[in-house]
Amino acid sequence: MGYALLTALRNEAEGLERLVASVAAQSVRPDPWILVENGSTDGTLELLAAIGKTTPWVRVASSEPDPRRERGASIVRALHVGLDALGPPPPAVAVLDADVTLPSEYFERLLETLDASPRLGLAGGTCYELENDTWRARRTTAPFVWGAARVYRRECLQAVLPLEPRTGWDAVDVAAANALGWETRTLPDLAFFHHRPEHSRERRRWEAWADQGRISHYLGYRPSYLALRALARGMRDPAAFGLVGGYAASALRRSPRCTRPGVRDWVRTEQRLRRLARRVAEARGGDADDGRQSV
């Protein structure tokens, strides 16, 4: 199963060499790898131009940041530019963040998993982040797939397009895929390494969690489930109560909710009380979810 790879970049000059080395070392390389520059000011574009000239399976494209200055929307815009540059997609399309490194078998493992499971539409590995000089796993609930290093089956990707131009786009398409009958899966024994801690670009952790509260409202989370999640996370990180703040602010403003068919119904089904024990067990399978959206 061949695959293409898309990466959106903004001000990633410092880690670009590390990223390229990680992808070049893959046992199954992408063809092509489309790198989409997204408004950099640190020399990233010049470095990309040099890489594109010397690496035949790399293409370089450019995208303008979203005018709302919303980081999630700018990433999605760049990914759509990459898809347009790709043309007719191969059997699988992968998305990789610029601040990630991978074991050499990462994409080979995911492609094998897709090939063995015809209803599996989206798969990824487990995120590890550096904490006190130790790489520690960040677990999440079963259906969620990290947006930083994932592979779509072509038919599933086409079914969930366009991606939502907002923070939390990678949770929306997981829900959309499941609502359409696809399966989504994170492989617990397949690691990828995230070199920038999640939400490190946000000025305050409270605001980072509030972002997750806003996307939770958009997806139609059950208030009881959200409150329990905030309580569980807040015992270790008080900023996690920003989940409730973000959700409540969206509810009071009567912010729009996701209108994709079946998405909110699927989310609420996953959050039923009878499934709570399983969700708690999944979340306790490793270290704390540091504010990442999951369902």
Q: Could you list the pLDDT tens digit for every one of the 295 residues in the chain?
A: 899 999 999 999 989 999 999 999 999 999 999 999 998 889 898 999 889 888 899 999 999 877 766 778 999 999 999 999 999 999 999 999 999 999 999 999 999 999 999 999 999 999 999 888 899 998 787 789 999 999 999 999 999 999 999 999 999 999 999 999 999 999 999 999 999 765 544 457 888 899 999 999 999 999 999 998 899 888 888 989 999 999 999 999 999 999 999 999 999 998 886 666 565 555 555 443 443 444 4
Same domain, 11 and 156: yes
With respect to residue 293, please indicate whether it lies within any of the assigned structural domains: no
Contact 165, 66 (CB under 8 A): yes
Q: Is the pTM of this model over 0.85?
A: yes
Place of tokens 């005018």: 67
With respect to residue 291, please indicate whether it lies within any of the assigned structural domains: no
Look at residues 168, 194, 220 and tell me which one is the last residue of a structural domain: 194
Q: So what's the pLDDT on residue 139?
A: 77
With respect to residue 153, please indicate whether it lies within any of the assigned structural domains: yes
Q: So what's the pLDDT on residue 291?
A: 39
Same domain, 81 and 188: yes
Q: So what's the pLDDT on residue 201?
A: 46
How many whole angstroms separate alpha carbon 111 and alpha carbon 124?
10
Look at residues 171, 194, 217 and tell me which one is the last residue of a structural domain: 194
| Cα separation values, 240 from 2, 3, 142, 210, 227, Å | 40, 37, 21, 8, 10
How many whole angstroms separate alpha carbon 268 and alpha carbon 217?
11
| Cα separation values, 273 from 139, 225, 228, 270, Å | 21, 8, 11, 9
Same domain, 89 and 227: no
Enclosing domain of residue 224: 205-283
Q: Which residues, other chains included, contact 220 with Cβ-Cβ below 8 Å and sequence gap of 6+?
A: 257, 258, 263, 264, 267, 268
Q: So what's the pLDDT on residue 285?
A: 56
**How many structural domains comprise the chain?**
2
Whichever domain contains 121, its CATH number is 3.90.550.10
With respect to residue 221, please indicate whether it lies within any of the assigned structural domains: yes
If DSSP codes are grouped into helix, strand and coil, which group holds residue 230?
helix
With respect to residue 157, please indicate whether it lies within any of the assigned structural domains: yes
Look at residues 174, 194, 214 and tell me which one is the last residue of a structural domain: 194
**Going by DSSP bridges, is the β-strand pair 100-101/33-37 parallel, antiparallel, or unpaired?**
unpaired
Same domain, 50 and 146: yes
Residue type, 156: C
Same domain, 114 and 184: yes
With respect to residue 21, please indicate whether it lies within any of the assigned structural domains: yes
With respect to residue 289, please indicate whether it lies within any of the assigned structural domains: no
Same domain, 82 and 189: yes
Same domain, 248 and 105: no
Same domain, 131 and 246: no
How many whole angstroms separate alpha carbon 11 and alpha carbon 231?
36
With respect to residue 290, please indicate whether it lies within any of the assigned structural domains: no
Same domain, 13 and 103: yes
Same domain, 142 and 263: no
Q: So what's the pLDDT on residue 294?
A: 42
90-107: burial string, b at 16+ Cβ within 10 Å, e else: eebbbbbbbbbbbbeebb
Same domain, 150 and 85: yes
Same domain, 134 and 154: yes
